[in-house]
Each structure stands twice: as structure tokens, then as C-alpha cells.
Amino acid sequence: MNDNLGALTAHYDRLRSQKFTVPGVTKSDGKPLVVYFDPPTNAQGQQIRQRAGTTDESKITLYTVIYLAKDENGKRMFEDDAATVQALTENVPGRTLAQIAGAIMRFSSEADLGNS
């Protein structure tokens, strides 16, 4: 691996393990819902667009959350199955999904990085 490639991959490693507290959403234990994530790679972005099967932003938002939102242990929070897609589509406000996907897709300040 050349020095430039090494610098880029090391930079990505520093961007991992970020978190987003979903505004106004609490779990059954009363604690806020926190979504953990790594910034998406180009390969993940392509996978999400392919799974969405369209350029429709609402479907890309949905699959961004399904594929990239993780719990505190690094496990995907949501399964990619019909029940999850239906629940997230019909029972969760689009704004809430957009907030989660927006957090995953945004450029974070150094103070917000998980491994800085």
C-alpha cells in the first residue's frame, strides 16, 4: 500500500464509530435512541442504490438507515426484510428517517468523530 492510500484508509478509520441521538425518540427503558454508524464507502452507497432500485430519495433514505444504522455493539439495527421495510415506511415519520440518514451521510466535525 502506498503512502497516499495508507493516509486515506487511516483517515477512514478515524471517521468510524460515530453516533447520532435521534431527537425525541426514546426506547422502552426511557433512554434516547442512539444510532451508531461508520460513514458510507462508495461500495456501500452503490449497494444501497442498487437495493433501492430507483433514484427515489425516500427509498435511498430508507435503505441507508437499514444498511448502515448500527447499535452500540456494531450490529445492524434493522433487518432488510419485508416487515422492517413496511414498519419503517408506514409507521415511522419520513422526517425521522431523513434525520438518521442525514447524520450518517453528513460530513462530521472533528469533535463528533468516534475515534478522534
The answer, yes or no, to whether residue 64 has pLDDT greater than 60, is yes
Give tens-digit pLDDT for 2-54: 899 988 888 888 888 899 999 999 999 999 999 999 989 889 999 999 999 98
The answer, yes or no, to whether residue 82 has pLDDT greater than 50, is yes
User: What percent of the chain lies above the pLDDT cut of 90?
Assistant: 70
* Count of C-beta atoms within a 10 Å radius of residue 37: 25
Stated length of the chain:
116
pLDDT of 116 reads: 42
The answer, yes or no, to whether residue 95 has pLDDT greater than 70, is yes
Burial class (CB in 10 A: 0-12, 13-18, 19+), 31: exposed
The answer, yes or no, to whether residue 112 has pLDDT greater than 70, is no
Q: Tell me the H-state helices in the chain.
A: 3-15, 42-52, 57-68, 82-90, 94-105
The answer, yes or no, to whether residue 1 has pLDDT greater than 70, is no
Distance (Å, whole) CA 58 – CA 111: 29
pLDDT of 9 reads: 87
What's the mean per-residue pLDDT of the chain?
Answer: 90
Burial class (CB in 10 A: 0-12, 13-18, 19+), 91: exposed
pLDDT tier at 111, thresholds 50, 70, 90 = low
Cell numbers at residue 46, please? 452503490
